[in-house]
Structure 1
C-alpha cells in the first residue's frame, strides 16, 4: 500500500479546523490480543509519549481503574488522541472481556472505523467471532491488526486463513512479515508491502527515517506475488472502475494509486478488511499502521450520523458533520474521578462544543436501569483531551471530534448535549441485557443510605447495570453482565464511595396455591371488658387455572354476615394471600366463597372481620394440600454448533425442557428451552464456561409451575435461601 507519512509532533495538544482531518478509530479484540500494547506503541510511534506505555508521571496509559491496575486488564472505554502529520487520530481502547460489551458498543458509537486486533499466537476464537459480529451489526468499516508476529509460536499465515474462514473472503493481507532464520532463531526482519513489493525494516514510529530494502529473497518474493494477485483480484471485484478489470484481464500494468483508492473505498463500504501485521513491543509495522489509518479509515463526514428528534420525540431533519451546524453531541461514558469529579466522554456529531457555554442536556430515560427521563440546562466546564489518567485543555471541539468534559452534574451515559435554543435528542444505541443477579446488603446499618446513593450513581454511569429493589423479597438486586463486571462494581463501592457491602443469595419469588378444595373457619372473638372484637366467617376454597388470581364469591344468606362487613372479609383474605399460608410466599389462583358466619351488634367491626377472613384462609390451608409454585423462564441460547450438545445436556440437568434448536448461520445455533428460575441464577457464568465464551442467552418470564416436592420441603423448612 502507501509509503510512510511524515513525522508526528510530540505531545501536541491542539484542535482541528475541519472534520476531514479527524479519524476516530476503535480498537476491538478479545482480552490478551494486545490492544493496549498496540495503542501504547502508536502513542510512542506518533511522538505523543516518550516511551511506550508511559506518560509524564511514569504510570502506564492504561492505568485508569484500580481493577485494571490490580488485574492487568482493561475494564473501561478509554480515549487516546494522537497526531500523524496534520491528521488527528482518536484511538478508542475497548475492553475485550465479555462482561464489558457495553463499553465496546459505546466505542463503536464514537468511532468511524474499527481496528480489529487478532493475536498471531492465539488465532481466532469464538470470542473474536462474536466481537466481529458486533462490528458488523453496526456496519463498521474494519481493518485487521495482526499482533505478536515476532513471537516464536506466531503463525501469521494460519491466522490470516482463520480470519478469512470466520470473517469472510474480504480479509486479505496488505503487508506480509519477513522472517529470517528457522526454529528458535527465527525472527522478524520487517514487513513487505503487498502492492508495492518493498521491504520495510522495523521502526518505532513514523518519525524515524527508514528507506525500504529494494530486494527480496526469492521465497518471500514468490509469497508476495501470490498475495498481491489475491489482493488485486479482491480490489477489482469491489471496484466500480471497469477499466481496471479490462487492464487486469489484458495483463496490463495496473496503476497503484487507482488500486489504493479503490481499496480505501472497499474498506469504507465494509466489504474489504486489510490485514496489517504488527509487533507493539518491537515497533514492527507501527509506522505502516500510522500511515494507513489516515489513508484507509473514513473521516467523520463519510459516515452516516444517528437520527435526531426533539426531546418530545418529533422527527427533525438529518444532521450533517458540520462545525457550523446545530450542536448535537452525545455522552458516551461517564466516570467519577476522586479529584476532578464527574468526567463525561463526549462525541460531537454536529456543531461545535465550546467551554463556558450553557447547553441543553436530555436523556431518554432507562427506569429499569436506574435512570429516568430528564431535561435540563447546564453550563459546560472544562473541555479537554485525555491521555491515560491525565487531561489537557483543548478549547472548542468541532463536529467529528471526541473529548472529555468535566463536572457535567446532570449528564448520564447516553445523554444528548445540544443548544439551549435548539434542543434535540439523539437516538440511543442498544445496551446489552444484564443477566447475572446479585443481592447486596450493607455491612453496617449506617451504610444503608450511602449504599443507595452509591448504587444510583454507578447505575447512571454504567447502563449495563440494572438496579432492582424486589417488592416481594425486599432485596437490593444488581443485575450485572458477569463476575468481572460485579468485581468492578464492588471495587468502586468500596474504594470510590467507601461503602462496605456484603452479597447474599438472590431469593426467587415463589408462590403458593391450593391443589384441592378445602373449607376453613375464621373465628375472631375477643372480650376484653370494654369494646371487644367479634367476627366469624366460613369459607370454601377452590383451586383455579394459572393466572386467575383471586376470585371472591359472596354466597351469604340471611344476613349472618352484614353486608358492610363482606368487603372486610375479602380484604382480610387478600392480606393473608400476600403473607402466605405455609411458607411465607404469596397465595395465587384460588376461588374463595364466603357462605356463612356470625356477627355481634356491638363488637363486630371492619377490623374484626378482616382478622376473621385471614384466620379462615389459614384454617383452610391446614385442611388441604398447598403446593409451592416456582417461576419458569423461556430461555433462548445462541452458541457455536460445537457446544450445542453440552449446552442442551446442561439445560436438561437444570430441570429444563428443551423445545428445539435451529441453525442461524455462521456456525451458530439457537436453542429454545423452558427452565426454572431457581436453576439459572448464575447461568451467565456457567454458559460462558460451557461454550468457551461463545454463548449468549436471553430470558423471559413465562409462568409459575409446581415446585417438585423434594425441593418444596426445603423452602417450607427454611433450608433453602
Structure 2
C-alpha cells in the first residue's frame, strides 16, 4: 500500500443499527476499488470485515474492523463498527477517531434504536453526518418513507438527497444523481441520461440541494437571492462546506443496495468530497492527570507535535497484542520510539502496518490523519495517547456506558484459576465497557458487560487465550438488618483440662439508620474488665461480614453491651469474642431480621407503540414508574426497579421489542425486601450452602 499524505485521507465511521447492511456495503466498496475480485456474503461467511470465527457463526459484527480502501488517489479508512447495542463501546470509539460518520439506515425498517444511539454519539463528538439508505432492493423498502422517518426523528437536521433511487424493491436498478442530473445503472461508473419520468422528482430535489449549498456560504446565499441560481461548482463547494460542518446540521443522503452493489460508485465519489479531511479536525485534549478540556486547533499536519489515540486493543494467542491508533497530528514510522503519554512509558514500534480485515499490510510511515496498527507494545491499552516527550496532555477519552449485564465466573481448573485475573485484566483494558471485580458481599468473581452476547464473546476470547471459565447467575448483593430491639445473654464456658475459657455477655441489638454499625458499652460496676470490651466488638464484627440469616453483610445495626461476667483465671480474649458473637447472633434472630435489596434507576427507550407493554412488564418486576417522555416516535420510561428483577432484563427487552428497545441502569439505594419473598431468599441461600 502506498503512502498517503493527510489531504488524501478520509476517515469514516460506518455505523447503524444491527442488520442495516454495513458489512455488505463494505464488500461493495472494496470490490469497486479492486481490492477484492468477488463480493463476499454474510450467509457465506466470507466478508472481509466479519473475519473472526465467532462473527461468521453468529452472522453478526462483534468488533470494529479497519478497512482501508484506495480510490482515485485517496485512501478511505472505513471503520466498520458493530451495530449490536452490546458493542456500543466499539461503536463509540470508532466515531471518536473518525472525521465523518456515515449512518446506514435500512430502507425497510427505517430509523431504529441503534440509529438514534449512533446519532447521539456523533452529536456528542461534533461529527458531521452522512446518511446511506441501504437495502432499497428489498421487499417493502421505501426511500421516501425512510427519508420522512429521518426528518421526523431528527427534526433539527436538514436531510438533502444527493442520489435518489431509480425504481424500488425488485425494480431497483440504479440511482439518479441530483447534482449532475445523471443516472448510474447497476455497478458501472458510466453516467447516462435520466429516465423521463424522473425529471420532475430530480428537479425538485435539485432545488433543495442548491438552497442547502447556498446556506453554507454568505457569498453563495447572496448570489442565490439575487440571481436565483448557482453554478455547478458553487453548488458542489457549498454542499461540501455544509456536509463537513456539524454546526450547520446538513446531512447528505445517498441510496444504495450493498448486496447488489447499486449506488455505491456515486457514494465512493461523494465520500471524497463530502467527508471531512483529517487536517480540519479539532481535537479535544485534557491535561495529563485531569483538568479543563482544551483543543488542538486545525489545521493538523505532519509538522505539529505527535498526538495519536489508541482506540482499540486486541489480544491474539499467537500474534500477541495489537493496538489500533489514529494519528491526529505528527507522524509515526516503523522502528521508531514513541512516548505513551498516559502511562509515561516509552514504546518501541518494531513493525507498523494497516489491517484490511485480518490481512496485515506493512507500511513504513503513517502521516497525520491516518490510522494504523502496531503489535507487541508493552504498556499500551485502549484509551492511551502517544505524544512527544514534552507533551503534557492526553487526548480526551469518551464516556462509556455503564455495564448492564453481569455473570459470576468459576475457573474450571487450578491452572485456569492462576491465569484468570491476568486474562480478565487484559480483556477489560482492551474493552472499556467490560469490568470485573471480586464482590466482597457475595464472595464471587463478577464479570460485567453490556449484554449476554458481549459476555459470551468475552468468555470465548478468554478460552482462545487458554483460560476455561464457567458462568452462572450472580447472587444479588442483599444486606441483612433488623427491624426491632432485642436482648440476649450468652455464656461461653469451656473446661477440657488445663486452662479453661469463660466469658458471659449480655447485649441488645437495635435498628440504626444513621450508620452501618455502631458499638457501645453501658457496663457499670466492672462486670466485664475494660480489656475485654474490644474482644466483644471483634467477635461481633466477624458476624457483620458473613451475615446471620442468609450470608450477606449486616448493616444499620447498633449493639449495646450492658452486662456480663468474667472469671479471674479462665476469662480471656477468645472467650469474649465467642460470647459476643453468639449473643449478637441470638439477639439478631429475635430482632425481626430482614433483608435489604439494591434498587436501580432504570431508563428504557422503546418505540411509542410498545410503551404500554413495557410499563406493564416493569410493574410485574415490582418497578415504580417515575416518569414518561416522548422524543420523536420513541418513548422514554424512567422507573425504580429492584436489581433482582433486572438481572436478565436485556434479553427480555430485546425479545419484547424485537431488538428495538434500549435501556440504562444505575444504582439508587437499598430498600427492604417484601416479607413474602424473604423466606424464599433465605431458603435458596441454605440450599447453596448445603450444595
Call closer, same or farther: CA 1:148–1:300 in 2, change over 3 Å.
Answer: same
Deviation at 1:77, TM superposition (A): 0.6
Of 270-279 and 303-312, deviating more is 303-312
Query: 8 Å contact 1:309–1:427 — kept in the other structure?
Result: no
Q: Equivalent residue for 1:8?
A: none
Q: Distance in 1 between matches of 2:529 and 2:375?
A: 68
Unaligned runs of 5+ in 2: none
Matched, 1:602 2:569: yes
Offset, 1:456:
1.7
Normalising by structure 1, we get a TM-score of: 0.89
| Correspondences of 1:404-553 after superposition (within 5 Å) | 404-422=373-391, 424-494=393-463, 496-545=464-513, 547-553=514-520
In structure 1, distance between residues paired with 2:535 and 2:18: 63
CA distance in 1: counterparts of 2:172 and 2:51, whole angstroms: 34
Secondary structure in structure 2 of the residue aligned to 1:26: strand
Alignment partner of 1:200 is 2:184:
yes
- Give ranges in structure 1 of 5+ residues lacking alignment: 1-12, 364-373
Distance 1:632 1:314 in 2: 34
* Aligned partners of 1:171 and 1:275 also within 8 Å: yes
SS of structure 2 residue aligned to 1:269: coil
Give the whole-Å Cα distance in 2 for the aligned partners of 1:223 and 1:425. 50
Task: Determine which of 382, 399, 406 is the counterpart of 2:351.
Answer: 382
Larger mean CA deviation between 330-339 and 121-130 belongs to: 121-130
Contact 2:166 2:175 in 1 (8 A): yes
Instruction: Tell me if structure 2 keeps the 8 A contact 1:377–1:420.
Output: no
Q: Return the alpha-carbon distance in structure 2 between the equivalents of residues 672 and 202 of structure 1.
A: 48
Q: If the length of structure 2 is used for normalisation, what is the TM-score?
A: 0.93
Kept in 1: contact 2:283–2:295 (CA 8 A): no
Judged with a 3 Å threshold, the aligned counterparts in structure 2 of structure 1 residues 306 and 151 are, in CA distance, closer, same or farther, namely same
Are the aligned partners of 1:522 and 1:612 in contact in 2 as well (CA < 8 Å)?
Answer: yes
Contact kept? 1:319, 1:350, Cα under 8 Å? no
Deviation at 1:129, TM superposition (A): 2.7
- Which deviations, in whole Å up to 9, do the C-alpha atoms of 1:393-418 show, x marking residues without a partner? 11111111101111112211111112
Matches within 5 A, 1:262-341: 262-270=238-246, 271-310=249-288, 318=296, 320=298, 321-341=300-320
SS at match of 2:474: coil
8 A contact 2:308–2:325 mirrored in 1: yes
Q: What is the Cα-based RMSD across aligned positions, in Å? A: 2.4
CA distance in 1, matches of 2:150, 2:565: 82
- Superposition map of 1:40-59 within 5 A: 40-53=27-40
8 A Cα contact 1:126 1:692, kept in partner: no
Contact conserved, 1:310 with 1:316, CA < 8 A, in 2? no
Q: CA deviation at 1:315?
A: 7.8
Shifted more, 552-561 versus 509-518: the winner is 509-518
Cα pair distance change 1:635/1:154, threshold 3 Å: closer
Corresponding residue number in structure 2 for 1:616? 583
Distance change (3 Å), C-alpha of 1:176 and 1:580 = closer
**Does 2:65 correspond to 1:78?**
yes
1:366 aligns with none
Q: For this pair of structures, how many residues does the alignment match?
A: 680
CA distance in 1, matches of 2:397, 2:541: 42
**Pairing of 1:208-223 with structure 2 (within 5 A):** 210=190, 212-214=191-193, 216-223=194-201
Return the match for 1:653 from 602, 605, 620. 620
In the alignment, which residue of structure 2 is the partner of 1:569?
A: 536
CA contact (8 A) 2:23 2:50 kept: no
Q: Deviations over 1:102-155 (max 9, x none)?
A: 111111011100121122233333332332222223221111122223335432
Q: What is the aligned counterpart of 2:213 among 220, 235, 254? A: 235
Given the superposition, is the C-alpha separation of residues 538 and 187 from structure 1 closer, same or farther in structure 2, using an over 3 Å criterion?
Answer: closer
Give the deviation of 1:645 after TM superposition. Answer: 2.5
Report the CA distance between 1:312 and its aligned residue.
6.8
Shift of 1:379: 0.8
